[in-house]
Structure 1
């Protein structure tokens, strides 16, 4: 089963060629047909951190999407691992509610998704129910294999070409299940180019019909390369430098991983297994730089596809009624905190991913620095645009599309300034310098808050670990997370930060508030995921961190029980994550 464990990041695809770079920005032939429901195009890449989402690296994506839409600075993955993140997109649910938490059994993967009965109760199913034609090409979910792709079919698509294991991450030997049929292996074909060709064919079909359409385009770039022949014969993970077609071999020859403050520091930092990592040697750093160059080259085919898809949409004259989304399933870290390539942690490199939206009525070239959203909110936005609803309670809120204050359809949640990333399984490292693929004691909850206090913008990252350790970073002052404001207290005890005399009063007061938000969010459902202050203050007195910092609430927040783990154990074990929010604890005047 470990052969099926692949780290994912949904991906954009490209079919080779220039991809319309610098072309096709006109209106095309004019609207082909009137439609009351908008078309939705989703590009979702695999393991793309925000550091690789730049104009220099992806010029077509910036020219065709960012310059004509809104770039969201604060967008986060619910779990820094592909399969759980993708399930949150398909189900519009936080990971602790859908409980697909890993990439294979017993805690995750396509078989587990089926065991829970989620098939036929997913985003594309709900879109089809309100009249959409739906299509999908590329990476869908881990542990969707050549052995189970027929007996465990995907639901909700008019047509689909799904990459299947163990060939999913083999750039030159991909295998697709076409419309839930047996796997078709393509020896010697570059995966992203194939995803591009297939996507453009499905887009032709979608454009020829009278119904609104949804198409998901998910290449594997820039995910690590995994040789399918080794995955077939070994239980060990072989994850190495991403690969690229020859036309991109000349690019980024001198690129190196940015030498930020947290890159291979002289002193160890972090908590749990991270604080035990040795300093990277020169050979390891050179390898990480080459790995980085491979990631950048693998993204060029993705960038080309964005241009090709935009060319086709504009030529068809449907952009006046089409929303285009670009995102990734999780981020990726290289060398930060002395790490090998990988994800699965709650740091910014791992959980912060690109989100760009272009659509009718949206401003051009705008950057949203105010809101904070996650994958469930993206899924909820698709549902709201389509007028669709799931057949269960979802956990998302519609993303502010900045359509204008007078537009009732654009429900702006200016108070939505938080995201929670969760993790319950082993940490995973990648690359040839990794001695063991897995790291234990990697269970944590990370709260990300972007708000305002005393009239000044604040950004905090607060994490509670199963080891009893806590992390608190002021990301305005410390964007690379090298100064844990609670570091000196982790050896004292799990609650030391709340009552230690040497902790500044303002920091303790902030900590009580952040822990209270975590307490609500870690078991939230529905509206409490969107507005956790509503659970804490059911009478509506508080809805922002600035309001919560009022001293009159000090006693209330200090008295709330504190989030902690009984001990470390694999899988989502709610009985070990204490306490569970009780409405009886809500504020009473």
Structure 2
């Protein structure tokens, strides 16, 4: 009787989000699917074909989301949105560094007490987080041995994480130092730990696997050091944008990139692709481990990035934090039970949708503060009647001077709709791009657009930037 009441409570919590029901009472915990979430760092959209395991094992065997967006094109705010299914103005982790961002802000706001990890663990899942957690973890708020609630297995770097060598891992509350030998390469170490976790788990498991690649300095495994020789960075029409006279001042102030800078962009692109081959091997290891353990057919594998990356586009030699497609649109590929191999999803989706999706797949209850939508209907080839038409992207300038030097972009709020990108900066400047006529975002038409269109977009942006909890799922459908 008690179990039945608990199940009813979970169902009632899930109904406002249009979630499907948890497993029926006759199903066992073991019948629920396993979930693996691979989150890479700073990977732009459109490059997955370069990686054999990702392209063969995920793209060809799963669904690719063509319009998947971040809530913020910087690591820590974006990852907090993933963990909590909240837009940045709701969770309050505004930047990568203290005092207004980073792990310290996440911890001080009490956000670790309710994340996708705690939800899945409460639903009976064995949970693990391996790899990058949040920027500047463990920060000044906790010891290096601190393990947040919600995770049965915890293997997270606390020092030198971006090097992929010479780092320290917090392994379930104990610190372990890794060196500079080939066997210490972080992506490979994570692959081994993931293999052990998946093989040993008898309960359904949720594995959040976060390799560092291709984040700078983009160190590859020794075996990949000579890959992609001679390859150039992509040259879309936005590369080294020539005409910026109608753009905001921050972009007008960027000079065109000279040949020496372009050569360095090509070098950086090769480094990033080489580093990603380690993450690709990790994906291959995950798939093969699941296959050998007889668990592959009952496992969903999600692959995504926390934000995109500029490599010469819009005059930006490298970086993120902008409202342009190169920074805010990222890959999402999902394979698993019932997903049509090689399929494509063109509906508007966002990183706030990931945690609710994991929850529905696992029959977990979610708290009322959740602002995203479950992607399960889209994975099943169905589109709900009322689906998202708006995605909100927010960026805040860091107070930390060293962090502020990383980006020339002023604070802004941006609305990405099915047809437009509309941006309002704290400087009072605006951008508007008609994505059908100008997919590369080369012509800012904010000064010449129909005033009625601008008013509608301003209204939609206002609703999104002031929304909270369930009413975000009302605001995101407004047209």
Match of residue 382 from structure 1: 358
Q: 1:528 aligns with which of 459, 471, 476?
A: 471
* Greater helix share, structure number: 2
Deviation at 1:245, TM superposition (A): 2.0
Q: 1:250 to 1:150 in 2, by over 3 A?
A: closer
Instruction: State the Cα distance separating 1:342 from its structure 2 match.
Output: 0.5
* Contact 2:157/2:169, CA 8 A, preserved across alignment: yes
Specify the SS of the correspondent of 2:174.
coil
TM-score, normalization by structure 1: 0.72
Match of 1:219 among 181, 188, 211: 211
2:413 alignment counterpart? 445
User: What's the secondary structure of 2:227's corresponding residue?
Assistant: coil
Larger Rg: 1
Per-residue CA deviation, residues 102-154 of structure 1 (Å, 9 max, x unaligned), is: 11210111121111112221111111111000011100111114874446432
- Alpha-carbon distance in 2 for matches of 1:69, 1:336: 29
Q: Tell me the equivalent position of 1:509.
A: 452
TM-score of the aligned structures, taking structure 2 as reference length: 0.88
Q: Which residue of 2 aligns with 1:233?
A: none
How far, CA to CA, are the matches of 1:396 and 1:34 in structure 2? Answer: 26
Match of 1:518 in 2: 461
Do 1:343 and 1:428's aligned partners in 2 also have CA atoms closer than 8 Å? Answer: no
Once residues 348 and 185 of structure 1 are traced to their aligned partners in structure 2, the CA distance between those partners, rounded to angstroms, is 37
- Kindly tell me: are residues 250 and 182 of structure 1, through their superposed partners in 2, closer, same or farther at Cα, counting changes over 3 Å? closer
Q: CA deviation at 1:76?
A: 0.7
Superposition deviation, residue 508 in structure 1: 2.4
Name 1:164's counterpart in structure 2. Answer: 158
The corresponding residue for 1:555 is: none
d(CA) in 2 for partners of 1:174, 1:517: 45
| Residue 290 (1) aligns with residue 267 (2) | yes
Secondary structure (helix, strand or coil) at the match of 2:303 reads strand
Q: How does 1:52-71 map to 2 (within 5 A)?
A: 52-53=47-48, 55=49, 57-71=50-64
Unaligned 5+ segments in structure 1 are: 1-32, 226-241, 451-458, 490-502, 534-542, 546-589
Alpha carbons 1:463, 1:470 under 8 Å: kept? yes
What is the alpha-carbon distance in structure 2 between the residues aligned to residue 103 and residue 413 of structure 1?
37
Q: Distance in 2 between matches of 1:71 and 1:86?
A: 21
TM alignment of 1:457-468, pairs within 5 A:
459-468=419-428
Q: Do the aligned partners of residues 403 and 249 (structure 1) sit closer, same or farther apart at CA in structure 2, a change above 3 Å counting?
A: closer
Runs of 5+ consecutive residues of structure 2 not aligned to the other structure: 1-27
2:193 is aligned, of 191, 198, 204, to: 198
Please show how residues 167-566 of structure 1 align to structure 2 within 5 Å. 167-182=160-175, 184-188=177-181, 189-206=184-201, 209=202, 211-225=203-217, 242-268=218-244, 270-369=247-346, 371-402=347-378, 404=380, 412=384, 415-426=387-398, 437-439=405-407, 442-450=410-418, 459-486=419-446, 489=447, 503=448, 507-532=450-475, 545=479
Return closer, same or farther for 1:424/1:307 CA change in 2, 3 Å cut-off: same
Aligned residues: 448
- How far apart are residue 427 of structure 1 and its match? 11
Alpha-carbon contact 1:149-1:182 (below 8 Å) kept: no
Q: 1:354 to 1:429 in 2, by over 3 A?
A: farther
